[in-house]
Chains A and B, each alone.
Chain A
């Protein structure tokens, strides 16, 4: 029997902001085109979400603003606490070990897990970088957390990562403010890759960049994914980005997953009316 290759299996994830009331179900969800209950004002950011992510796979999450895709990503990033559900993680380096439920870990362990095993790239660089530190300092943070204590070795590793992400290594000690938007995205990617994570989370990485810079960042992500067989969870509202990077895609609306499947299948033959609208608007 072949060993299962998934590294992340999420099920029953829920996140709501507010107390909820008996009439919430009546007014919220994709059928009502609403994620906020008009009676109690509770916002249902994510409802009964689940997915499986296999090793080396890129899974796209697509949906309009406020559909819950970033909430789902932040729950996987352990930065937003889920109200209920499970996120099972199987360490790819020890596939025979039992999976662990990330949502059951205490704060100390989840911080270590986030640093060692996860990398994240945000749409806004100031969320992922400390703009008061140099570019090298930002990339060094994860290495220092992993107990790297030799400045010479740290700087050698930073230069390698900068070359890998097509950044000029001679600018290692420059201020991030002197970098362009596309370069800052690459600094974030270099930082995310520094700890050799098992899973890379990408939250609208190309939004706000002009088309030529978008193309370069996407090429870089695709190359890294291909060379390192990196597992990625990609959030975007742009179907073009999803089409280029993701093998499978889930579509979210009003906090619910309304459709999931192979990206080609979803783009060529969308089943849910919302997905059909999304595809027809994009193409």
Chain B
């Protein structure tokens, strides 16, 4: 029987010592929710900044019995998602799925699936920029001290300035939150729509930044408080009248894309659809079944 080149690697690509080191840092991150734990980020066959942090976490925790789902911006079929899934599948042989409810580990970039996650599931997020204080304190050493002393005044000034300059809290993604009443955490570029999905959730959320060599975590049933003012509250994205062109959803996070149409005066039109493609597919199927069902 011939072997593929990927099968010559260790299970999960990286060596067992590296996996053990990542798991040790994950445990520390779970013990200190929201705290950034340094780890020795390994070289991988993809460039840093393309999901190496999330990938190493997944490689360290994945087991032969796991079912894996990989998404990018909610999409199972984007280039990044397909390539990461293929690498993980070929080096572990695990079953992969696009169904959120069937997966035990979900690796994601910039989205949390629409379907509520269960306590037996783990969501691994790929993180490009770790520290929310980077906006106000570029010196990492000073930012670490600020985290240690809960010195978040300057970040609050950043929020105040956002209100003063834009008339409202205008932070679109990477919304800063306080985890378990202690550490300030960057929520990665997930939209504001997803931020409160972290709050008191049943699932474990692991955040990995390969380029910045940091891991942090939100354990199950952990409080998440977005930074907000009494007169300027945290709000999720909402555009009145916007619905998914495929499934008709109004209760999901929608993305827009331009559809070229030569008959249209502007050369085309904008169309909205669910960012979570597998959830959208499910709804389309349910809608079709409902319509076909005998009255």
Contact = CB atoms under 8 A, between A and B. Distances in A.
Contact of A141 (B145, B149, B153, B230): B153
B153 A137 contact: no
27 contacts: A107-B148, A107-B149, A133-B161, A134-B164, A136-B160, A137-B160, A137-B161, A137-B164, A138-B157, A140-B160, A141-B153, A141-B156, A144-B153, A144-B156, A144-B157, A144-B160, A145-B153, A149-B229, A149-B230, A150-B229, A150-B231, A151-B160, A151-B163, A151-B229, A151-B232, A154-B160, A173-B165
B236 interface: no
Contacts of A150: 229-231
Contacts of A144: 153, 156-157, 160
Interface in B159-173: 160-161, 163-165
Given A134-B161, A141-B154, A152-B231, 10 more contacts: A108-B149, A130-B154, A141-B157, A144-B160, A145-B153, A149-B229, A149-B230, A151-B164, A151-B231, A173-B165
B151 to A, nearest CB: 6
B150 interface: yes
B229 A142 contact: no
Pairs A-B, 5 closest by C-beta atoms: A145-B153, A144-B156, A150-B230, A137-B157, A111-B149
Contacts of A107: 145, 148-149
A233 to B, nearest CB: 23
Interface of B: 145, 148-151, 153-154, 156-157, 160-161, 163-165, 229-232
Contacts of B164: 134, 136-137, 151, 173
Contacts of B153: 115, 141-142, 144-145
Interface residues of A, number: 21
Interface string A201-236: 000000000000000000000000000000000000
A173 B153 CA distance: 18
A111 B152 CA distance: 11
B66 to A, nearest CB: 41
Interface in A142-161: 142, 144-145, 149-152, 154
A144 B160 CA distance: 9
Nearest to A108: B149
A151 B145 CA distance: 27
Interface in A164-218: 173
Contacts of B160: 136-137, 140, 144, 151, 154
Contacts of B161: 133-134, 137
A173 B149 CA distance: 29
Nearest to B164: A173
Contacts of B156: 141, 144-145
- In this complex, which of A107, A138, A151 has the most chain B Cβ atoms within 10 angstroms of its Cβ? A151
A173 B160 CA distance: 11
A136 to B, nearest CB: 7
A104 to B, nearest CB: 17
Contacts of A111: 149, 151
